[in-house]
């Protein structure tokens, strides 16, 4: 049985063969990659990371080089939910000030290559905690305490990024955020209501009357959880990305 200090490669997040219906055009992709990254040498091998369905994630091997490709699900029509350009732009701006962020390498907006926009970034090797941890990985209470503390510390680091200095001042609309949330959810409830629920009317009124004032804005991670973090395979309480 391996312990939490084990460094065996089988604990690392492993790709698998590409799922049926989610194949990429290897010929077009290889030509695009080698045009944008002329230092690449060798044939292209494509695998897929099996977890995560909001966007599709692939491992690309070209010779000894490993890259990661992200693209929207096939058939996805909600562009704002699968905005590859937005992901690429954010990574491009914060990787220099937040070293845990992977370095993006290429962004392709032309759908003629893979049928949808996509981007390519460097691969960060490590362990990812899914609902079922990798077989052989032990997570004793002492390790989980250290990991939990670093989990919060890493989130604080993200919040502390000077997003304006990093060139992301126009990323969102922090002014009026609370007002938009309270009024927007109240309006959606009213539009969808089927019964009169006095308690809901009371809650909506209370929220409207007790909205907190404007506070400083910061960069946030909209899906911050363990299976979106990459852990160091030698120190499982240390986060790579």
pLDDT at 197 exceeding the cut of 80: yes
Q: Chain-centre distance of CA 142, in angstroms?
A: 27
Question: Using CA atoms, how far apart are residues 92 and 99, in angstroms rounded to an integer?
Answer: 11
Q: Where are the alpha helices (DSSP H) in the chain?
A: 26-36, 84-94, 111-114, 141-160, 177-192, 198-209
Q: Is the pLDDT of residue 123 over 90?
A: yes
Mean pLDDT of the 202-218 span: 90
List the CATH code of the domain at 9-126.
Answer: 3.30.200.20
CB atoms within 10 A of CB 208: 12
pLDDT digits (tens, 9 = 90+) for 133-171: 777 888 899 999 999 999 999 999 999 999 999 999 988
Q: Which of 46, 35, 19 is nearest to 108 (CA)?
A: 35
Residue matched to tokens 């993006």: 104
Instruction: Return the closest-CA partner of residue 213 out of 186, 178, 181.
Output: 178
Q: How far apart are CA 233 and CA 231, in angstroms?
A: 6
Q: What is the pLDDT of residues 8-57, one digit of tens each?
A: 456 777 889 999 999 999 999 999 999 999 999 999 999 999 876 678 99
pLDDT tens across 47-101, in order?
999 876 678 999 999 999 999 999 998 876 656 668 999 999 999 999 989 989 9
What are the extents of the domains in the chain?
9-126, 177-209
Distance in angstroms (rounded) separating the CA atoms of residues 75 and 97: 35
Q: Give the β-pairing of 56-62 and 44-48.
A: antiparallel
Please check whether residue 90 is in contact with residue 71, taking contact to mean a CB–CB distance below 8 angstroms.
no
- Inform me whether the pLDDT recorded for 207 exceeds 90: yes
What is the DSSP track for 92-112? HHHTTT-TTSPPEEEEE--HH
Question: What is the model's pLDDT at position 130?
Answer: 80
H or E element, residue 141: helix 141-160
Six-digit token pair at 222?
């909209």
């Amino acid at each position: 049985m391996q312990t939490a200090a084990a460094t065996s490669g089988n604990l690392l997040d492993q790709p698998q063969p590409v799922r049926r219906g989610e194949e990429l055009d290897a010929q077009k992709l290889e030509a695009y990659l080698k045009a944008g990254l002329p230092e690449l040498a060798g044939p292209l091998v494509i695998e897929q990371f099996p977890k995560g369905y909001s966007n599709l994630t692939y491992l690309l091997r070209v010779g000894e080089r490993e890259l990661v490709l992200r693209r929207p699900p096939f058939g996805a029509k909600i562009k704002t939910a699968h905005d590859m350009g937005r992901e690429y732009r954010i990574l491009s701006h914060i990787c220099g000030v937040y070293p845990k962020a992977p370095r993006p390498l290429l962004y392709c907006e032309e759908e003629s290559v893979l049928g949808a926009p996509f981007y390519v970034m460097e691969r960060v090797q490590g362990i990812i905690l899914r609902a079922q941890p990798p077989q052989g990985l032990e997570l004793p209470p002492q390790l989980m305490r250290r990991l939990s503390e670093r989990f919060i510390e890493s989130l604080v680091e993200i919040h502390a990024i000077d997003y304006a200095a990093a060139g992301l001042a126009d990323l969102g609309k922090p002014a009026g955020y609370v007002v938009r949330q309270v009024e927007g959810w109240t309006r959606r409830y009213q539009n969808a209501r089927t019964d009169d629920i006095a308690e809901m009317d009371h809650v909506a009124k209370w929220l409207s009357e007790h909205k907190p004032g404007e506070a400083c804005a910061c960069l946030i991670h909209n899906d911050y959880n363990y299976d979106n973090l990459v852990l160091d395979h030698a120190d499982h309480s240390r986060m790579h990305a």
